[in-house]
């Protein structure tokens, strides 16, 4: 073989190796799917967009993700099932839709447990949150990598202003299929209607149900002002909505990609708290401009609080890990034990 042929062969071999390497890198790159329960303009979408941005940056542009809003990939509980078996990559959903699969996270949905954004951040980012992440991996096969902070779930309805529990009687309220939330409304004297999130707008529109509860940001993003008139500014449940990844999908990634996913989730979580703090007041004003009426419950919500905590908390001590677990959470918040 002459010198020229040797050079040509060497160049061809080098090109082949480079091509193969390029194919390998391309095969490793992935565009993930993220199911999102809420619509555009919601805290869930804001968290999702930030996560996608951070994932691209932290993976050096290798990985990306697409958001599928408004439950396009199934109900929120369905997405937990799908992620658990590895047919869905990520989902952003309300914590109450994780509780049926991993009951200990129900501590976050006990009525009047979380009383501010600061407390929500403290619990999710501290030892309590870390333990619940491990429990959810064990129980449901999904890993919580980020938290959406959406604010307190306020009560909306199309019938009348509601300021007292007496006013609530006769109003048909949709709730998620979550036992803690169902029992909270029963403690207030009514039987709520459990219903999938994807069915809620139509049910409100057709007056199958009169009302529902969700944060101001969700009421705005889902355009509930088109089918609801009145809001009662209750504060029984601070809505935290985790970003979960399929544990099977997560474990299938190399160490660098796993780190990029975790770091992107942490950055998106910090952004979510900032987004809520900066946006909620303006959203409330916009809902009033669109014709909604906002009322505070009478007597500082005292009767609502007493009935819900006395009737609901003891019933769920066991499912959330025991009374001592609840007292540990209360202690971390500087509150008295039960």
**117 with 181: CB under 8 angstroms?**
no
Give the 3-state DSSP-derived string for 116-144, with helices as H, strands as E and coil as C: CHHHHHHHHHCHHHHHHHHHHHHHHCEEE
pLDDT in tens, 149-171: 999 999 999 999 999 999 999 99
pLDDT in tens, 61-115: 999 999 999 999 999 999 999 999 999 999 999 999 999 999 999 999 999 999 9
Q: What is the mean pLDDT of the chain?
A: 92
Q: What is the pLDDT of residue 28?
A: 77
Q: Look-up: residue for tokens 């009737």?
A: 311
| C-alpha–C-alpha distance, residues 143 and 315, integer Å | 27
R_g (Cα) of the chain, nearest Å: 23
Q: What is the pLDDT of residue 296?
A: 97
Banded model confidence at residue 1, pLDDT cuts 50, 70, 90: low
Residues 6+ apart with CB under 8 A from 202: 208
Determine the topology of domain 30-332 in CATH: D-Maltodextrin-Binding Protein; domain 2 (3.40.190)
Q: What is the pLDDT of residue 3?
A: 42
Question: Is residue 5's pLDDT more than 70?
Answer: no
pLDDT in tens, 247-268: 999 999 999 999 999 999 999 9
pLDDT in tens, 300-327: 999 999 999 999 999 999 999 999 999 9
CA distances from residue 4 to 7, 13, 14, 18, 293 in whole angstroms, order as listed: 5, 14, 15, 21, 84
Q: What is the pLDDT of residue 18?
A: 42
pLDDT in tens, 29-47: 999 999 999 999 999 999 9
| C-alpha–C-alpha distance, residues 3 and 185, integer Å | 86
């Amino acid at each position: 073989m002459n010198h020229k042929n040797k050079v040509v062969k060497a160049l061809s071999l080098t090109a082949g190796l480079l091509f193969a390497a390029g194919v390998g890198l391309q095969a490793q790159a992935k565009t993930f799917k993220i199911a999102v329960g809420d619509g555009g303009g919601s805290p869930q979408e804001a968290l999702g967009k930030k996560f996608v941005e951070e994932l691209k940056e932290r993976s050096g542009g290798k990985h990306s993700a697409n958001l599928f809003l408004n439950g396009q990939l199934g109900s929120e509980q369905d997405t937990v099932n799908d992620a658990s078996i590895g047919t869905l990559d990520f989902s952003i959903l309300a914590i109450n839709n994780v509780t049926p699969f991993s009951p200990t996270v129900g501590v976050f949905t006990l009525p009047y447990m979380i009383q501010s954004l600061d407390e929500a951040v403290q619990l999710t980012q501290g030892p309590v949150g870390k333990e619940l992440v491990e429990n959810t991996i064990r129980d449901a096969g999904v890993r919580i990598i980020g938290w959406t902070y959406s604010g307190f779930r306020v009560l909306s309805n199309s019938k009348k202003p509601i300021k007292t529990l007496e006013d609530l009687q006769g109003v048909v309220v949709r709730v998620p299929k979550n036992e803690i939330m169902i029992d909270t409304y029963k403690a207030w004297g009514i039987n709520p209607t459990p219903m999938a999130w994807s069915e809620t707008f139509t049910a409100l529109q057709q007056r199958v149900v009169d009302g529902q509860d969700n944060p101001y940001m969700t009421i705005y993003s889902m355009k509930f002002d088109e089918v609801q008139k009145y809001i009662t500014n209750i504060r029984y449940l601070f809505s935290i909505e985790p970003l979960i990844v399929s544990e099977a999908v997560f474990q299938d990634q190399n160490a660098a990609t796993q780190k990029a996913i975790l770091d992107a989730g942490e950055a998106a979580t910090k952004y979510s708290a900032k987004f809520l703090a900066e946006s909620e007041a303006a959203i409330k004003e916009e809902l009033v401009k669109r014709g909604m009426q906002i009322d505070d419950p009478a007597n500082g919500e005292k009767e609502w609080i007493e009935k819900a905590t006395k009737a609901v908390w003891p019933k769920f001590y066991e499912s959330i890990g025991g009374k001592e677990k609840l007292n540990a959470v209360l202690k971390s918040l500087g509150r008295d034990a039960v």
